[in-house]
Chain A
Amino acid sequence: MDPLKDSARAIARDVNARTTSAAEVAEALIPHVERVDAQLGAYLELTPELMREHARRVDARVAAGENLPLAGVPVAIKDNMCLTGTRTTAGSKILETFVAPYTATAVQRLLDAGALPIGKTNLDEFAMGSSGENSALGLTRNPYDLDRVPGGSSAGSASAVGGFEATLSLGSDTGGSIREPAAFCNVVGFKPTYGRVSRYGLIAFASSLDQIGPFARCVEDAALVYDVIAGKDPLDATSVDREVEPAAGALRDDLRGVRVGVVKEFTLDDLDAASRAVYEAAYADLERLGAELVDVTLPTAEYGLATYYLIAPAECSSNLARFDGVRYGLRVDGADVGEMYERTRAAGFGPEVKRRILIGTYALSSGYYDAYYLKAQKARTRIAEDFARAFERCDLIVSPAASSPAFRFNAKSDPVTMYLMDYYTIPGSLAGLPSLSVPCGAALPEDGTRPMPMGLQMTSPLFTERALLGYAHAYERATMHAEKLTPVA
């Protein structure tokens, strides 16, 4: 038993069987995380006392005869989710001192299931970014090469699990913010169907897209978290009231009879040779497991990025209007209330957040609404229809999770170049589909010295999470790519 390396399932099994205790897990993890995180910077705040308190509670519940699905499992929480009494900053100066007065439903469900909170993880400010570099509060490194980005926006949640600083973590995904960093950090990252997981207590970015999901070092652990956090929440009107079929324990080991869609528009020809070889091998492995590869087409996928970069900023400009220096967060005084608003927001938001607020405000402003926001919503309909048509011919769609492995810090200074990282993840987000990234190998970057992990994205029809996790599980069991790499930190 090694609580630093074991799967969530193994830790919960041992704690429930009382062959170890949650307190022992916590005491093993706390000094380890403090040491490793000095290098990785995955966390904005560690909560050792809270972790010990929850460990005591879990041990008492287990002693009283309860069996908890996540008994004693250390989890990290992206810092755009509220946890009572902890700072919840969204990686922004405007919320640097904000202390959450309540707990997000997804987080509460993890804690009720016996998980132990290690701390709050770094992120691109307000979850806007693809590298982690947009955090105003800290720098998070990739555990497989400290000179490279962890991906974003769930930078710390991916880095913590990939670097063995947490067994599990929660992230949020709007256009790829779970799947892309999961690919970069050699972990499984899973975005359930839009509406599957309550967003009560998640700081909103783009409300028609945001979804909470898990990071884990194996598919079964991701399924375990999904089973705990999914389902209707009366506190989130957008959460879907639909039965959740438990996924963990029902995962398949082969792909016989499964039709795997390979998208014509997601050609591998755009990738460098090393990356292309990784995905060609991955597709061949799927076939070897019994899957039938089917060519499908998503003719509107090329419009995904343009559609997303209207819808997400428009919704962000509306959601972030609440940060005005009145009820919480930073305030910079001004002569009148208007000047106070303008100065507060100028000092509190970083450049990427400002850019998106400006784009969104422009796209929604008088005279432009039809040409931009409405047009994008119609494009979104067409993209969703394309997926529906493709799924008549296949059970899931595969593609790269990102257009390259993790890149070096400051390698992408132009915003549009950075946005292109999400080329593969955005169309599925716009269609609300369940989608995940599973480790599929490593490629040596042209400017690198170590092979960097890569992720295979799998996307399936709405509400087919259990099937999707099953496909990923079969692929993972047959290839075991994650275990071939060792973190440097």
Chain B
Amino acid sequence: MPTDRIDIRHVARLARLALTDDEIATFGPQLGSLMTHVDALAKLDTENVAATAQVIPSRNVQREDAIRPETILPRDVALQNAPQVQGPYFRVPRIIAEEG
């Protein structure tokens, strides 16, 4: 049944998203129902069809390796929206566990 189709807890871990039990109970069937809708795609023949990543034909282009001042944020501006800063850095909680 749709409800069990997706291991929501596992997917939420991959997405770095903490979910409440209520959310798991709601999202499970909703996502199952959407995926059932999506299953219709299996009927479409895509044998020998190339994948379209984007529709406008584009090719790799090069530009001069030059500084574009209009795209550079001064450091204080780059930091102005940060939840926590220390000196010129973004501050985050501990990433590496203490030896012990």
Are A and B bound to each other?
A: yes
Chain A contact-residue range equals: 35 or more
Instruction: Give the distance in Å from the alpha carbon of A336 to the alpha carbon of B31 in the complex.
Output: 30
Main secondary structure of the interface of A (DSSP, over half): helix
Set of chain B residues within 8 Å of A365, measured between Cβ atoms: 11, 14
Pair A432/B17 contact, Cβ less than 8 Å: no
Pair A208/B53 contact, Cβ less than 8 Å: yes
**Binary B-proximity of A355-380 (CB < 8 A = 1, otherwise 0):** 10111011001000000101111111
B36 → A minimal CB distance (Å): 9
Set of chain A residues within 8 Å of B46, measured between Cβ atoms: 375, 378-379, 381-382
A303-B40, A335-B93 known; A432 and B15 CB under 8 Å? no
Pair A354/B18 contact, Cβ less than 8 Å: no
A244 → B minimal CB distance (Å): 14
Contacting B at CB under 8 A, from A17-45, are none
B-to-A contact residues, CB < 8 Å = 6, 8, 11-12, 14-20, 23, 26-27, 30-31, 33-35, 37-42, 44, 46, 49-56, 58, 61, 63, 68, 70-71, 73, 77-78, 80-84, 90, 92-95, 97
A310-B38, A327-B82, A365-B14 known; A381 and B56 CB under 8 Å? no
B97 → A minimal CB distance (Å): 8
Pair B84/A331 contact, Cβ less than 8 Å: yes
Main secondary structure of the interface of B (DSSP, over half): loop
A-to-B contact residues, CB < 8 Å = 97-99, 101-102, 193-195, 208, 234-235, 237-238, 240, 300, 302-303, 305-307, 309-310, 317, 321, 324-331, 333-343, 345-346, 349, 351, 354-355, 357-359, 361-362, 365, 372, 374-382, 384, 414-416, 419, 430-432, 462
Instruction: Give the distance in Å from the alpha carbon of A329 to the alpha carbon of B49 in the complex.
Output: 42
Pair A358/B95 contact, Cβ less than 8 Å: no
A234-B68, A336-B94, A376-B41 known; A343 and B18 CB under 8 Å? yes
Pair B41/A193 contact, Cβ less than 8 Å: no
Partner of B82, one of A235, A237, A328, A375: A328
Set of chain B residues within 8 Å of A307, measured between Cβ atoms: 41
Instruction: Give the distance in Å from the alpha carbon of A324 to the alpha carbon of B70 in the complex.
Output: 26
Pair B34/A381 contact, Cβ less than 8 Å: no
Set of chain A residues within 8 Å of B55, measured between Cβ atoms: 194, 208, 380, 384, 430-432, 462
Partner of B17, one of A302, A333, A349: A349
Instruction: Give the distance in Å from the alpha carbon of A334 to the alpha carbon of B73 in the complex.
Output: 29
Instruction: Give the distance in Å from the alpha carbon of A279 to the alpha carbon of B56 in the complex.
Output: 31
Given contacts A99-B81, A345-B18, 12 further A-B contacts (CB under 8 A): A208-B53, A208-B54, A238-B54, A326-B83, A328-B81, A329-B81, A349-B17, A359-B31, A359-B35, A362-B35, A372-B38, A380-B55
Instruction: Give the distance in Å from the alpha carbon of A240 to the alpha carbon of B35 in the complex.
Output: 34
